[in-house]
Structure 1
Amino acid sequence: MEPNRHRQVVIAEAFDALAAERELHLQPEVFVEPSQYTAYTGMRSFVVFGDSGSGKTALRMALTRLATPDNTPPTHLVVQWQPEPIEGAQGSPAVRICIRQILDACATALLTTFARHPHLFYSAPPTAQTATHWFIQTCAGRDLQNLLAIIEEEIASEEGKSLARRLVTDPASPVLRAEVAEQRIIAHLTGTLQRMGMRGVWVMIDGLEPWLRSAMPRIADMLNAILSTLELFDLNGFAIKMFVPRELEPSITGSWGAIKGRFDLYTLTWTSEQLGLIIERHIAAKTGKPQVTLGDLCAADRDVRAWLQRYGGNTPRGWLRLIRPLVDVFLTSGASRPLSRDAWRSIQRTHPPRLYINLETDRVFIGDAEIGKLQPRPYRLLRYLYENRARRVPRSELYYRAYQGLAEEPLAHGDHGWEDPADWNNVLDNAILRLRKIIEPDPHHPVYILTDRGWGVKLENTR
């Protein structure tokens, strides 16, 4: 892609998706190395846990770029494999199916690599050429002709296309027996790649979030089975690098491979400085400038940073989502000078972070930050308002049903639980004020709990 065209794509994509897999051209410009990044770059297998939006996919993409630099031969064979739950198979049978899928992915990656770097194949020893030719034809479980058609569409080099056609259509000489164990095939592949100047194979496993909703027990069992297959982690030049949602952590840490220390376990975390650098790089990409700081964006940069630290949570996506309204106003203003403090206060009022309650776990979030555990009565008030956020809740209903926890609202003197409004009005007002002090950015100018004298209380800016 031409440099100017690449730049236009980057500017267009910044802040649009907030997902690394949809920011392919943007990632090299905005990626920030997390802590322990060097440990991820070796031949040691590992599992990285992270919340949604924590940057797992961005990390995987950065490692892929490191191992497969543009215009030069790759240092590793990088294999992207996304496991799927296997119906009716568990334990060893499921593991064997998974290994066959991995071998298929390796064959696909190897054929694509040779098409992009044909000299890597032609400069290899004859025995290595024979071995890789046999591996591609033996282990590619998919339709090789269809794969070849895809490669011919994507590869510009005629030499690369010609080599791919040869590897697919010319008969391959046998190298290993048909009944040989899969682990032996992997060991033979890694040894061959090392003779060709590569360090080995990285199998990248990512994109498991969709299975959490539809098949979490099955995907957890399958990953546990794979990670308990110790032979996979004893192969020289072969590493599995997993990027996994936190929800799967209990299953994975209980696998035999984790217990025996066959792979490393990490949690992807970020400092506020790293998160600040990530958003500044996104802003620079969006504005088309080589470098931008929060001070260039807004005169109230310290207040903006405090806002991000309070409501952005601990993930890049949380910070990027929170800063976007400010970036949009900055660009609309012409991006020639920092926005004023008054402009920043207006943005805070018109674009507050959304409030959310997980009604199953009773966890309260504003933006991407979790609010500390509320006392029972303030939480009952907030939950009731949240459950009825589509309407304005009358004060009497809020007092009796939420604050007092009654099943029904007493409507007249003599009804169970009835109190004179003069006795409970101040009690409710004080309870609302205490709740506002916990959740409102400015309790004197609320944006969440809004009261309308004579009508009731309404919870706004929720999701």
Structure 2
Amino acid sequence: MEPNRHRQMAAAEAFDALAAEREPHLQPVVFTEPLQYTAYTGMRSFVVFGDSGSGKTALRMALTRQATPADAPPTHLVVQWQPEPTKGVRGSPAVRICIRQALEACATTLLETFARYPRLFDAAPPTVQMYMHWFIQTYTGDDRRSLLAIIEEDRAFREGLSLCQRLITEPASPLLHADVAEQRVIAHLTDTLQRMGMRGVWVMIDGIEPWLRNAMPDIAEMLNAILSTLELFDLNGFAIKMFAPRTLEPSITGSWGAIKGRVELYTLTWTPERLILITERHIAAKIGRPRVPLRDLCVADNEVRAWLQRYGGSTPRGWLRLVRPLVDAFVTSGAAHALSRDDWRAIQRTHPPRLSIDLATDRVFIGDAEIGGLQPRPYRLLRYLYENRTRRVPRSELYYRAYQGLVEEPRTHDDHGWEDPADWNNVLDNAILRLRKIIEPDPRHPLYILTDRGWGVKLEHTV
């Protein structure tokens, strides 16, 4: 497929994945630098913390593009590595296993680099060539044949195919003994890379979230151990660049590398202005135009902006997910004229952001924004409705079980806690009204807490 055609198809799917790893062709077009972007470049080791959808992977991909330009040899050896937990192994032995994994990833990346740019190897001094040959053979191990098969099948590697075949199949001189310290191997690697014209090694660690579901303590302990190995961070031309979820922040912050200042710690944050820029760039990519400001999308752009700031949360994914129905409507209309205010308000009612509650922490979200200001009783009402969101809850049940917190609803005058409905109807109505003022975009026209006098109260648009 032609590159431009591929790029056009990727742009047409700009709002489908909302995940950088699934839209690599789109990223060069829509990527927006965070305010502290320059702090992430160069030979410094760091950890960037961020919530899901905050743009950690997009940042990692941008740094990779910077160090490995498409039309020139790489300035750094950029290695993508995911540490694999080692069951039953802790402390220094676990760190050595992890470093071995990282070196194996370095060897694979180095071989692919020579496959793409064989002149890097051919122009290097003989001693550099000897070390690179030894390093690739030592740290590709049992994967050599499969790696060579991949290189042989990929047309992008045709220029360096014969070189890779030699590096894989011809015996290498034993330059370092078998039990040499990993730090010495890395020092030799960075030195030879610099003699070839590169600045060093970036080891990128990303995509940790899926592993946390089943192995949170193991992952946290392993990353803490890696970041506590100070010898790694004293090596010239070697940097670890980690992109980690916020849940790992307490563990990583306590690592010895962070405490001693060898590893910089950052949190990926976005201002509303940058989030608007990211949103508008995705819209432009979707429509196929150089630029599409919100006012070209909808005449009620101030209302759209306020909606995004209220419910989009603090991450690019939250804003893009929230604006997607408006973009779809604009495209469906032919994208010739901005949508009207009536169009926008219809979209608000037909595609409201979903309400959710983290029942373990009592945190309430609408869209990607956390909702605060809920007092205990209004919150109990909302939680009860959320736990019973598949049905209408009778008013009496809502009052006794949620508002009053009784275990059972009294049915007759003789039951414990019974109150005359005339005494509590207004109390419940006022509680629901207070709740709506916090939850609803327009309490006069509720979207979430719907009351049917004959049936009860139902919570809608939940997840």
Per the shorter chain, which TM-score range?
over 0.9
Give the whole-Å Cα distance in 2 for the aligned partners of 1:373 and 1:185: 56
Question: How far is 1:160 from its partner?
Answer: 1.0
| Corresponding letter in the other structure for 1:415 | D
Question: How far is 1:141 from its partner?
Answer: 3.5
SS in structure 1 opposite 2:48? strand
Residue 281 of structure 1 corresponds to: 281
- Note if contact 2:131-2:192 (Cα within 8 Å) is conserved in structure 1: yes
SS in structure 1 opposite 2:156? coil
SS in structure 2 opposite 1:266? strand
Give the whole-Å Cα distance in 1 for the aligned partners of 2:161 and 2:8: 30
| Corresponding letter in the other structure for 1:75 | T
| Corresponding letter in the other structure for 2:189 | L
SS in structure 2 opposite 1:239? strand
Residue 298 of structure 2 corresponds to: 298
Question: How far is 1:157 from its partner?
Answer: 4.6
Give the whole-Å Cα distance in 1 for the aligned partners of 2:459 and 2:83: 42
- The question of 1:48 aligning with 2:31 is answered no
- The question of 1:259 aligning with 2:265 is answered no
| Corresponding letter in the other structure for 2:409 | E
Tell me the alpha carbon deviations over residues 398-453 of structure 1, each in whole angstroms, 9 at most, x when there is no partner: 00000111111001112111111111111111110000000100000000000001
Residue 16 of structure 1 corresponds to: 16
> CA distance change for structure 1 residues 157 and 384 in 2, over 3 Å: closer, same or farther?
closer
- Note if contact 1:112-1:151 (Cα within 8 Å) is conserved in structure 2: yes
Question: How far is 1:170 from its partner?
Answer: 1.2
- Note if contact 2:73-2:117 (Cα within 8 Å) is conserved in structure 1: yes
Residue 67 of structure 1 corresponds to: 67
Question: How far is 1:290 from its partner?
Answer: 1.4
Tell me the alpha carbon deviations over residues 52-77 of structure 1, each in whole angstroms, 9 at most, x when there is no partner: 00000000000000000002000000
Question: How far is 1:3 from its partner?
Answer: 4.5
Map of 1:122-271 to 2, 5 A cutoff?
122-271=122-271
Give the whole-Å Cα distance in 2 for the aligned partners of 1:143 and 1:4: 34
Question: How far is 1:156 from its partner?
Answer: 3.1
Tell me the alpha carbon deviations over residues 365-405 of structure 1, each in whole angstroms, 9 at most, x when there is no partner: 00000001411000000000000000000000000000111
> CA distance change for structure 1 residues 344 and 142 in 2, over 3 Å: closer, same or farther?
farther
- Note if contact 2:117-2:159 (Cα within 8 Å) is conserved in structure 1: no
- The question of 1:310 aligning with 2:310 is answered yes
Once the two structures are overlaid, the 10-residue window that deviates more, 393-402 or 137-146, is 137-146
Map of 1:412-451 to 2, 5 A cutoff?
412-451=412-451
- The question of 1:407 aligning with 2:402 is answered no
TM-score by length of 2: 0.99
Give the whole-Å Cα distance in 1 for the aligned partners of 2:190 and 2:411: 78
Gaps in structure 2 of 5+ consecutive residues: none
Residue 397 of structure 1 corresponds to: 397
Map of 1:61-100 to 2, 5 A cutoff?
61-100=61-100
- Note if contact 2:151-2:157 (Cα within 8 Å) is conserved in structure 1: no
Give the whole-Å Cα distance in 2 for the aligned partners of 1:27 and 1:312: 21
Give the whole-Å Cα distance in 1 for the aligned partners of 2:164 and 2:141: 16
TM-score by length of 1: 0.99
Tell me the alpha carbon deviations over residues 195-247 of structure 1, each in whole angstroms, 9 at most, x when there is no partner: 00000000000011012210000100001111110000000000000000000
Gaps in structure 1 of 5+ consecutive residues: none
- The question of 1:377 aligning with 2:380 is answered no
- Note if contact 1:116-1:157 (Cα within 8 Å) is conserved in structure 2: yes
Give the whole-Å Cα distance in 1 for the aligned partners of 2:4 and 2:31: 20
Give the whole-Å Cα distance in 2 for the aligned partners of 1:277 and 1:154: 37
Give the whole-Å Cα distance in 2 for the aligned partners of 1:156 and 1:374: 58
Question: How far is 1:180 from its partner?
Answer: 1.2
Give the whole-Å Cα distance in 2 for the aligned partners of 1:300 and 1:158: 54
- Note if contact 2:115-2:158 (Cα within 8 Å) is conserved in structure 1: no
| Corresponding letter in the other structure for 2:427 | V
Question: How far is 1:302 from its partner?
Answer: 0.7
Give the whole-Å Cα distance in 2 for the aligned partners of 1:31 and 1:159: 31
SS in structure 2 opposite 1:215? helix
SS in structure 2 opposite 1:83? coil
Identical counterparts, % of pairs: 81
- Note if contact 1:363-1:373 (Cα within 8 Å) is conserved in structure 2: no
Give the whole-Å Cα distance in 2 for the aligned partners of 1:317 and 1:157: 35
- Note if contact 1:7-1:288 (Cα within 8 Å) is conserved in structure 2: no
SS in structure 2 opposite 1:365? strand
Give the whole-Å Cα distance in 1 for the aligned partners of 2:402 and 2:171: 76
Give the whole-Å Cα distance in 2 for the aligned partners of 1:217 and 1:353: 33
- Note if contact 1:107-1:139 (Cα within 8 Å) is conserved in structure 2: yes
- Note if contact 2:57-2:206 (Cα within 8 Å) is conserved in structure 1: yes
Question: How far is 1:155 from its partner?
Answer: 3.7
Give the whole-Å Cα distance in 2 for the aligned partners of 1:130 and 1:140: 16
SS in structure 1 opposite 2:314? coil
RMSD: 1.0
Map of 1:323-342 to 2, 5 A cutoff?
323-342=323-342
- The question of 1:462 aligning with 2:462 is answered yes
Question: How far is 1:291 from its partner?
Answer: 1.1
Tell me the alpha carbon deviations over residues 71-128 of structure 1, each in whole angstroms, 9 at most, x when there is no partner: 2000000000001211111000100000000010000000000001111111111111
Give the whole-Å Cα distance in 2 for the aligned partners of 1:178 and 1:411: 80
Once the two structures are overlaid, the 10-residue window that deviates more, 2-11 or 422-431, is 2-11
Give the whole-Å Cα distance in 2 for the aligned partners of 1:13 and 1:161: 34
- Note if contact 1:83-1:98 (Cα within 8 Å) is conserved in structure 2: yes
SS in structure 1 opposite 2:365? strand
- Note if contact 1:308-1:322 (Cα within 8 Å) is conserved in structure 2: yes
SS in structure 2 opposite 1:370? strand
- Note if contact 1:53-1:318 (Cα within 8 Å) is conserved in structure 2: yes
- Note if contact 1:46-1:266 (Cα within 8 Å) is conserved in structure 2: yes
SS in structure 2 opposite 1:17? coil
| Corresponding letter in the other structure for 1:182 | E
- Note if contact 1:104-1:142 (Cα within 8 Å) is conserved in structure 2: no
- Note if contact 2:373-2:438 (Cα within 8 Å) is conserved in structure 1: no
- Note if contact 1:116-1:155 (Cα within 8 Å) is conserved in structure 2: no
Give the whole-Å Cα distance in 2 for the aligned partners of 1:9 and 1:160: 30
Give the whole-Å Cα distance in 1 for the aligned partners of 2:119 and 2:2: 25
